[in-house]
Chain A
């Protein structure tokens, strides 16, 4: 693989923004997830809608990469494309150099909807089920792994409960445990905290960061909340709406400073970029 060539073609915007970042594990220079010039379209009854236009970014090992943008910027569509549920009509998405063609357990999804847990399985069965189904671990080993990750999200007491008896926040914690138990290459999170109340959401964000400190998993996180993006992400991708185009790719404030003046300034900056009355045209990433 010629790893350097992919990184060389950067959009004008990202090039000015990107600064050298210190990595715990620099993966031989090649990004873990490489999204190159991805255009996504989908059809409604009457229209062909372009959701994103030539979006490029790359996620490195151990990144907490957050995609933020107003509704209609195609960020969920983009995440579904990384998940393998939708195919881009232009450009390509590579995970560890492999082109993504279909959904797979190397990219575990955590959805916004609470019904992502299978209601006919208990909490521990829900976490162990994908391990069993993909043949990653069998029976007892799968249960042990499931219990290990349930302990991480502090739900051991509810292991034998059925999902409908849990609160919304607990359901999302099970979904996160399920995603992490598979130890995927990348965890894809589609606004997982959007349906939670503000107190629970803030609590869940802290928990997710604590989990990241423990295991340093790679996560691609989609949200429409700027404060959430600043708090959770180490790298933030800004998408403009209709269709989604890369507005900027920036570093977030250091961990634990999400209430600082610096964070507030960054929040204002992101807000101005996303909601500026005149949306400046981002130069095409293609450069044909």
Chain B
């Protein structure tokens, strides 16, 4: 029997790379297809559309739920005759203005908040007060202050975007690591240059999340505002289109309007924000 102190040394020869059966091999076609995110998502959409179509046909009451095909047909007709693009464009125009102003104000408030204690308190108090306040609740006031038209819509949009975005920006700025801050100061970066060169990129994942939430809030607020106070926007947007179609009992058109909103939402989320993410936080390894 071997004693603990007289075990021999053992040396081994390792095999060369040509000696193994499989070192690396491609996945099967099915696995490769399943790994494509867009394919999986498309599949889900197709299943949902099919379920809608079947239910619509089974119900056979186009005034309640027209089948998917009828909605798509209405969508195609109104896109072709230019109604929906015009309405969508007028909505998006107002939306972008409101979103831009809201984001800019949020940036300003957050920079003030990180540069002084009173600024932080101000932002925290304001967000605590106004973030839970639905933007629509301000619309009656906005109509009195800014009259019928884009002005009051932009006002409520700014309100709905600003607080959500600034909350996220502030959280992002606060989570920037001490080391990154010290590196920035080591380079003599101060004030706005420090914010722009160090804090904003370092907090970009949070800022982007804030922008996404802000964008969703803005859409909801705008459509709701147009639905409730439809005439408030002179030329009428998508919300007003839905409202009109309902009044004329053109239910497939109502669905076409809803579909348009969904499609624009999907496009912005999956194209615009996806592209920004791929170019920034994913490339930088700040998000997996």
A216 to B284, CA, bound (A): 34
- Are B180 and A115 within 8 A (Cβ)? yes
Name the segment of B42-50, B68-76, B196-204, B219-227 touching the other chain: B196-204
Does any Cβ of B come within 8 Å of A152's Cβ? no
**Secondary structure of the B contact surface, majority rule:** helix
Residue of B186, B187, B197, B285 most packed against chain A (CB within 10 A) = B186
Q: Are A109 and B186 in contact (CB under 8 A)?
A: yes
Q: Closest CB-CB distance, A131 to chain B, in whole Å?
A: 9
**Interface residue? B177 (CB, 8 A):** yes
If A109-B183, A116-B180, A133-B197 touch, whether A162 touches B188 (CB-CB below 8 Å) is no
B179 contacts partner chain A, Cβ-Cβ < 8 Å: yes
| B198 pairs with A118, CB closer than 8 A | yes
Measured between C-beta atoms, what is the minimum distance from A176 to chain B in Å? 14
Q: Which one of A103, A108, A113, A164 lies within 8 Å of B177 (CB-CB)?
A: A113
Does the CB pair A164–B285 fall under 8 Å? yes
Our pick among A103, A113, A120 for the contact of B186 (Cβ within 8 Å) is A103
Tell me, rounded to whole Å, the shortest Cβ–Cβ distance linking A263 to chain B: 30
Q: Mark A77-107, 1 if CB is under 8 A from B, else 0.
A: 0000001010000000000000000111101
Q: A85, B188: Cβ atoms under 8 Å?
A: no
Q: Do A120 and B182 touch across chains, with their CB atoms under 8 A apart? A: no
A130/B186 in contact, CB under 8 A: yes
A184 to chain B, nearest CB (A): 10
Which residues 162-209 of A sit at the B interface, judged by CB distance below 8 A? Answer: 162-165
Separation of A102 and B284 alpha carbons in the complex (Å): 30
A85 near B185 (CB under 8 angstroms)?
A: yes
Over the window 102-146 of chain A, the binary record of Cβ atoms lying under 8 Å from chain B Cβ atoms (1 yes, 0 no) is 111101110101011011100000000110011000000000000
Distance A118 CA – B183 CA, assembled complex (angstroms): 9
Q: Closest residue of chain A to B204, judged by CB?
A: A120
Contact A120–B284 (Cβ < 8 Å):
yes
Q: CA separation between A111 and B185, bound complex, in Å?
A: 13
List the B side residues contacting A120 at CB < 8 Å: 201-202, 204, 280, 284, 286
Given contacts A104-B188, A105-B187, A113-B177, contact A118 B182 (CB under 8 A): no
Whether, in the assembled complex, B189 has its beta carbon less than 8 Å from a beta carbon of chain A, the answer is yes
Query: With contacts A119-B285, A130-B187, A164-B284 known, is A109 near B182, CB below 8 A?
Result: yes
A230 to B189, CA, bound (A): 36
Residue of A whose beta carbon sits closest to that of B286: A119
Residue of B nearest to A114 (CB): B179
The verdict on B25 contacting chain A, using a C-beta distance below 8 Å, is no
Q: Indicate which residue in A103, A116, A163 contacts B179 across the interface (CB closer than 8 Å).
A: A116
CB–CB B189/A118 < 8 A: no
A69 vs B202: C-alpha distance in the bound complex, in angstroms? Answer: 33
Q: Does B7 contact A (CB under 8 A)?
A: no
Does B117 belong to the interface (CB within 8 Å)? no
Query: How far, in Å, is A48 (CB) from chain B's closest CB?
Result: 21
B183 to chain A, nearest CB (A): 5
Is A162's CB under 8 angstroms from B177's CB? no
Cβ proximity bits B162-194 to A, threshold 8 Å, 1 near / 0 not: 000000000000000101101101111100010
Q: Which of A102, A113, A133, A165 contacts B285 (CB 8 A)?
A: A165
Give Cα A109 to B185, complex, Å. 10
The contact of A103 among B185, B197, B201, B283, by CB within 8 Å, is: B185
Measured in the bound complex, the distance between the Cα atoms of B285 and A115 in whole Å is: 12
The distance in angstroms between the C-alpha atoms of A102 and B188, with both chains bound, is 9
Tell whether A111 pairs with B179 under 8 Å between CB atoms, given A129-B187, A133-B189, A162-B285: yes
Contact indicator A133/B284 (Cβ below 8 Å): no
Residue of A103, A115, A120 ringed by the most chain B CB atoms within 10 A: A120
- Tell me the residues in window 255-285 of chain B with beta carbons closer than 8 Å to chain A beta carbons: 280, 283-285
Residues of A within 8 Å of B283, CB to CB, are 162
* A112 nearest CB neighbor, chain B only: B179
Contacts of B198 in A (CB 8 A): 118
Q: Show 24 A/B contacts (Cβ-Cβ < 8 Å), sorted by A.
A: A83-B186, A85-B182, A103-B182, A103-B185, A104-B186, A109-B182, A111-B182, A113-B179, A115-B180, A116-B183, A118-B183, A118-B198, A118-B202, A119-B202, A119-B284, A120-B202, A120-B204, A120-B284, A120-B286, A129-B187, A130-B186, A130-B187, A133-B189, A134-B187
4 additional contacts (CB under 8 A) given A108-B186, A162-B285: A83-B186, A118-B202, A119-B284, A119-B286
Measured CB to CB, the residues of A under 8 A from B are 83, 85, 102-105, 107-109, 111, 113, 115-116, 118-120, 129-130, 133-134, 162-165
